[in-house]
Structure 1
Amino acid sequence: MAQPEISATEFFQTRRSVPAKMLGLPVPDRAALEPLLTAAMRVPDHGKLEPWRFLVLEQGAMARLAALAQARAAALGLDAERTAKGMGQFETGHLAVVVISAPKPSEKIPQIEQVYSAGAACLSLLNAALAAGWGANWLSGWPSHDRAFVAEGFGLAETETVAGIIHIGTPRSAPPDRPRPDASTLVTWVQA
């Protein structure tokens, strides 16, 4: 998808996610998604451990996961609102990439740094999709933190967790902007 040429700095200063519920068809096919996944892997990775992996959820998987979220919500005794919220991203989604934090045993690289690397992969994938002209949104939600859901739905090992679920598609309308942080209240300059 063609985008007007802007500098990288301008892109990062103006980028904004598109809410998943505002994403429609078409979605990137495998040929369009592969360069985005490649970009997502170019993140800080101390020790070159590759402590993450990706699970691409296509349409059929989304319907299965919505049903699984509904079943898990019932088993957990969740109310209708939480049930609907847990099902929603799978029920209405067309394509998503689950970024799985998969830390490796290492005496040199702390597990927390490996988890940060998976988070960086989420943001890199999100930004790569936006830069390519797609709409994208980084979600999680209670199903991504429910051990039974992620084991059955995503096939996660006991040592793996969901870093994020990146929904990618075509924006149905311009995403809303929101208030942004004031750097003067968050940045401290240290001179000595």
Structure 2
Amino acid sequence: MDSFNDSATPASLMATRRSGKARDMISPGPDSAQLAAMLHTAARVPDHGKLFPWRFVVIENRDAFAQSLLAAYLSGKPGAGRLEQDAVTQFAVQSPCLVAVLSSPKQSHIPLWEQELSVGALCQNLCLAAHAHGFVANWLTGWAAYDEQVLALLGGAAPERIAGFFFIGSQAKPLEERPRPDMAAITSHWAG
């Protein structure tokens, strides 16, 4: 896997980025240097007040994380069947690399909304950085992103929130294009 796609222009990278399905990802995933570069790139976002209202949690021991996710899930749904339990544990191990992004708002005169927008920009930058390095990324949430036990498992506490889980790897099959919005329907022009 190339360490970085320097032949692509920023515009072409943005125009061609697509989410790969986490369940379809295969090795290789990014090595530690590539992942460090992606995280560094992701952090180059608008950040009013230089608050850094976000942080990354790289999940290295995926089997242990899967078991911890399952324990959190079962504490709320003790009667969950085998299929549900398998889906929960599969979530944690379905791609070569997994990074959680936490929204970590700071006490400040900067509005919370602006801090949350910065988190969203960081998340999109992480997807673009993975694409620039020749990988695919999938930004998922699901029940785990809203579970207080999972937040605590990742070292977080309120008012922090999980912005998403980022699965990064190589795509096993060609990506399908998804429907895109009609730009005329979502664009207006204000002339005064």
Residue type at the aligned position of 2:121: A
| Structure 1 residues without counterparts, runs of 5 or longer | none
1:64-143 aligned within 5 A: 64-77=64-77, 79-80=80-81, 83-106=85-108, 108-143=109-144
In the TM superposition, residue 127 of structure 1 has moved relative to its aligned partner by 0.4
- Over the aligned positions, Cα root-mean-square deviation in angstroms equals 1.9
Quote the offset at 1:92 in angstroms. Answer: 2.0
What percent of counterpart residues are identical? 36
Match of 2:34 among 32, 35, 39: 32
| Equivalent residues, number | 188
SS in 2 for 1:96: strand
Instruction: Compute the TM-score of the two structures, normalised by the length of structure 1.
Output: 0.89
Q: Distance in 2 between matches of 1:29 and 1:14?
A: 23
Aligned-pair distance for 1:72? Answer: 2.2
Deviation sequence 1:137-187 (CA, Å, 0-9, x none): 111111111001221x21112221111111111111222211111111111
Letter in 2 for 1:36: M
How many Å apart are 1:131 and its aligned residue? Answer: 1.3
The runs of 5 or more residues in structure 2 that have no matched partner are none
Structure 1 CA distance for aligned equivalents of residues 33 and 69 of structure 2: 30
Q: Give me the whole-angstrom Cα distance separating, in 2, the residues matched to 1:33 and 1:91.
A: 17
In structure 2, the partner of 1:174 is 174
Tell me, in whole angstroms, the C-alpha distance in 1 between the residues paired with 2:131 and 2:7: 13
Using the TM superposition, give the Cα deviation of residue 79 of structure 1 relative to its aligned residue in structure 2, in angstroms: 4.7
